[in-house]
Structure formats: C-alpha cells, structure tokens
Amino acid sequence: MLQLAVFRDEQERVRIGLKKRNWTDDAIDEAIKKILITDETRRTAQTELDTTLSEINKASKAIGELMKSGKKTEAENAKSEIAAWKEKTKTLEETRKQAETILEDILLVLPNLPNERVPYGKTPDDNEVWQAWTQPLPELDTDAQPHWELSNKYGIFDLELGVKITGAGFPVFRGKGAKLVRALIQFFLDEAQKAGYEEIIPPLMVNEASARGTGQIPDKEGQMYYAEKDELYLIPTAEVPVTNIMRDVILNEKDFPVKLCAYSQCFRREAGSYGAHVRGLNRVHQFDKVEIVQFSHPEKSYDAHTQMINHVKKLMQKLELPYRILKLCGGDMSGASAMTYDFETWSAAQKRWLEVSSVSNFETYQATRLKCRYKDVNGKIQLVHTLNGSALALPRIIAALLENNQTPEGIVIPKALVKYTKFKILN
RNA sequence: GGAGAGUUGUCCGAGUGGUUUAAGGAGCACGCCUGGAAAGUGUGUUUACGGCAAAACUGUAACGAGAGUUCGAAUCUCUCACUCUCCGCCA
C-alpha cells in the first residue's frame, strides 16, 4: 500500500511510477484527484469531530462536578445541551469513516511505484535480460527426454498417484526422487545460513490479517486455498508468515539488517492455467521452496537486493544450471514490488526458460500495510523496506536438473549436491 | 469438545460509573549528588489521526479486539480472539 503523503508531496513520482504500470494520464489524474479530495474530506471531518468531542468531554466533567455537589437540576439541564453535540459527532464520524473506506479502497488496488531503474514495458517480452551465464547452453541428443518422462523411467515423482490421493498438480516424490527433494532443501538452507539468514519454520496456515499484511488479500485471494471453517489460508509462499513476524513491530536502527529464511511447502490454486506449459513439474499446486526475507534500512535496501541476487546466482552456479537474470519491466512486475529480478533456468529438453526465483524489493509498500517501522537516530518513526526472494523453488530446478544432466547411465547429480543426496547418479 | 479464572503502559501491579490527567513499584534514558561507584534524588520514558509552514505546543482516540448502554466507561452489557487451571480426546 502506498502512503497518503506520497500523493500530497510527490505527485511527479506517482505519475512516472503509474505510467510505468501502463496507466493512462487520465486514470492517473483521476486517482490522484480522488485521493486528495477524499483526504481533505477526511481531515476536515476529523478536525471537527475532535473539537466536538472535546466540548463533550468538558461538559461531562462539569456534570460530574455538579452531581457531586448535589446540584441535580443544573446537571439535568447540562445533559440536554449535550444531545445536539452527540448528534453532530455521529454525522462527522460517519463522514470520516466513509472517507477512510474510499481511501483504503483506492490505495489497496494501487500498485507500488516502480523504482527509477525499472524499464517501461507491458508484457514479459519487454523484460530486459540483465545478466546471463556465459557458457553455451547444453545441447542434448535428439532422443533426450523431458523431465516427466525421465521421472517415469527412474521413478522420481508420480503425478497420477497424486491425482488418486488428492488431485491434479500434487506430485508424489518417491525413493531417490524424495531424497533429491530433501537434499535440495537442506542444501538451500545451509547456503542461506552461511549467508547469515536466521532459519524459521513458520506455520503453513495464516489468518486473514497476515494474508492482508503481505498483500495476498485482496490482490491474489483466488490463488490461496482457504479452510473456511477455521478462516485460515494455506500459504502460497513462506514470505507470508515470515514477513508477518514483523507486522506491527517497531525496530531499532541497530536491529538492521534482519535476515530470515524459511523452508516451507507452498500451496497455490493456480486457477486457470492449463496446457503443455504446465506439464510435469512446470506448474503444480503444492511445492517446496526456501525463501529468503530481509527487513532493511531504507538507504541500504538496494544493497540488500544486490546481495540477495548474488546469493541466488551462487546457488545456480553451485548447481551448475544455466541461468539468466531478467530485470522485469513495469508491466510484468507484481503489484507490490518496486523492483524485481527473475531468475530463469534453461530446461534443455523442453528447450525453454523456466522461472525459478523472483527477487524483489518492495521498498515501503508492504511495510505500510504491515506497519513495520523503525526508530531512526532522531527517535522518528520510519517505514522499513522489505525484500524477499526464492532461494530457491524446487520443482523447476528438479525439472532442469533431470533434463540437463541426463546420460545413458542416469541423472548425474551436481557435485555440490552429492554431499546431501549421498548418491552421485540417479538411476 | 465441556467447566471455571483471566487479558491494564517496557515489565510487575492497583483500579467495579465522575480530579484516572491510569495509583504504586521495577526497568531504562538523561541530570544532580560522588574522587569514582553504589545508595539517594530530580526529570523523562507508547502509538495513531488531526491543528500549526515547521518545531515547541495542542486536540482526539487507544486498558485483548469489535459493538452497545450512558452526559460520562479500564470499570456495566453483548460478540469474538487469546492465555491459564481442571475434565474429555489425542501424535
């Protein structure tokens, strides 16, 4: 959520930002105008309400004293005078509430303002390839198989079994496949720990306040599984519970940087996606992911962002997977983000890039809704910057590992991972 | 799931309708005192939203959350959440 003050003091920045989100000038003008007018209404009502309440408070105190000294008639008279004021507070409160609701409705749907370095663009095609690995992409024989066929061959995961137990998109990993999953999780967590992240094991279900805190509600409510009876959401990413650790928290400057990581299973309804692009592990409803999260001093947040990108890059290199890093354009970034880099890995048999990580700086957008702030050296309360990234999401990493490393003898496990799998070849 | 008791500031804790402007204590911060420290002593010690160009200052709100009664609510009523104790169930 953007802060109101931005619309009062930094309209030029709002204009540029929303333009990057492909808003028309008219739409931008309308939004700004509506916000400013509504805010004015709200403030006027607030001021008047406060004055009226102040009068009532004074009068009530006077009545108290009259009652005490036994002047009952005078007290009764004073009471009747208050009635008019009370009517007034009701109207004013209504006005204020209405204005607040309108403001919140507008602010909740307004996307974050992209950072100045974010390129203009409308679709994924407009994303900039920012960095790519320098070696040639692996070339496979013509009889190379996609990962779902390799899986059948070696018994790595079973989607049909998942259908029987649960439904489509719930893979069942078995044997060495299950070990591979566990090895990757352990590897990612160890690397995160080396990079100074504190490990969290969060709840996999969250309440509405938490879902709202990170912006899943109202933007992506349809993406989450919901347990109606208990009013709890299954998390689509560990970002949700972990970021909410700092909801309604005021940090001190010396607490920075706060670096947390968490492994969790993630649940996504992925409503409306079908077709060849979702075969195998390309898109599933339940998957494993290690997430890294940082709460940063505003002046340091882009350093932290770089640090997180380098961390993910290192993971890709250790796994010996081809990757490229995209700087997302304004039109393709998620609404909450101010700047996002996506990591994609090359899936050699499918011959396409698969997204495996998304590293974002949300600046103050999440912090505003979360009310996550810090006290600066002057004792002033300021909003923190929040960042997060996948480090990493497993399914597509597994897809790429299987496809790229297939040999007649089996799937070759990258050196860095053997320590965890305890086997060098999966066959 | 059933029954009972609770939830007050950074912490402990008083407070059952009207100087509560939330007592008192502890902690913390800054002074004073001291050769230095302890003890003593003084002051300060939440946040949100308004007013003011801004600060100083000032208004309003918040005693688990929300609604209600009342001229006036930490205090009374209702709903919900959470904590503790006992019973039941249980990896």
A361-408 pLDDT, tens per residue?
A: 999 999 999 999 998 887 888 999 999 999 999 999 999 999 999 999
Across all residues in chain A, what is the average pLDDT? 91
- Is any atom of nucleic acid chain B found less than 7 Å from the CB of residue A118? no
Which nucleotide's C1' is closest to A89 (Cα)?
B60
Angle CA A319–A235–A221, to nearest 5 = 120
Cα A365 from Cα A386, distance rounded (Å): 8
Q: What DSSP letter does each residue of A269-319 carry, written as one string?
A: --TT--SGGGTTTTS-SEEEEEEEEEEE-GGGHHHHHHHHHHHHHHHHHHT
Q: Which run of H or E residues covers position A385?
A: strand A385-393
- Is any atom of nucleic acid chain B found less than 7 Å from the CB of residue A8? no
Q: How many angstroms is C1' of B35 away from CA of A264?
A: 61
Q: What pLDDT does residue A275 have?
A: 63
How many residues in chain A?
A: 427
- Is any atom of nucleic acid chain B found less than 7 Å from the CB of residue A43? yes
A173 pLDDT higher than 90: yes
Q: What are phi and psi of A172, to 5 degrees?
A: -110, 115
Give per-residue pLDDT as tens, A191-246: 999 999 999 999 999 998 899 888 888 778 888 999 888 889 999 999 999 999 99
Q: What pLDDT does residue A272 have?
A: 61
Q: What pLDDT does residue A185 have?
A: 98
Give the pairing type, strands A385-393 and A406-407. unpaired
A271 pLDDT higher than 80: no
Q: How many angstroms is C1' of B51 away from CA of A49?
A: 12
Higher pLDDT pick, A93 / A188: A188
Which nucleotide's C1' is closest to A64 (Cα)?
B18
Q: Which of A176, A142, A187 is nearest to A320 (CA)?
A: A187
Higher pLDDT pick, A7 / A72: A7
Q: How many angstroms is C1' of B23 away from CA of A61?
A: 20
A15 pLDDT higher than 80: yes
A250: buried, middle or exposed (CB in 10 Å: 19+, 13-18, 0-12)? Answer: middle
Which nucleotide's C1' is closest to A78 (Cα)?
B71
- Is any atom of nucleic acid chain B found less than 7 Å from the CB of residue A86? yes
- Is any atom of nucleic acid chain B found less than 7 Å from the CB of residue A60? yes
Q: What pLDDT does residue A70 have?
A: 73
Give per-residue pLDDT as tens, A98-107: 899 899 889 9
A47 pLDDT higher than 70: yes
- Is any atom of nucleic acid chain B found less than 7 Å from the CB of residue A259? no
Q: What pLDDT does residue A279 have?
A: 85
- For strand B, which residues in window 376-395 of chain A come within 7 Å by CB? 381
Q: How many angstroms is C1' of B38 away from CA of A249?
A: 36
Q: What pLDDT does residue A61 have?
A: 86
- Is any atom of nucleic acid chain B found less than 7 Å from the CB of residue A49? yes
Which nucleotide's C1' is closest to A65 (Cα)?
B18
Q: A276: pLDDT confidence band, cut at 50, 70 and 90?
A: low
Which nucleotide's C1' is closest to A80 (Cα)?
B71
Q: How many angstroms is C1' of B27 away from CA of A205?
A: 37
- Is any atom of nucleic acid chain B found less than 7 Å from the CB of residue A315? no
Q: Which of A324, A309, A330 is nearest to A126 (CA)?
A: A330
A278 pLDDT higher than 80: no
Locate tokens 């990079």: which residue? A195
Q: What pLDDT does residue A41 have?
A: 92
Interface ipTM:
0.85
Q: How many angstroms is C1' of B3 away from CA of A60?
A: 42
Give per-residue pLDDT as tens, A50-92: 999 988 888 888 888 887 777 777 777 778 888 888 888 888 9
Cα of A176 vs its chain's centroid, Å: 32
- Is any atom of nucleic acid chain B found less than 7 Å from the CB of residue A419? no
Q: Which nucleotides of B are covered by protein (CB under 7 A)?
A: 18-19, 47-51, 59-61, 71-72
pLDDT > 90: percent of chain A: 63
- Is any atom of nucleic acid chain B found less than 7 Å from the CB of residue A97? no
A176 pLDDT higher than 90: yes
Locate tokens 């979702």: which residue? A278
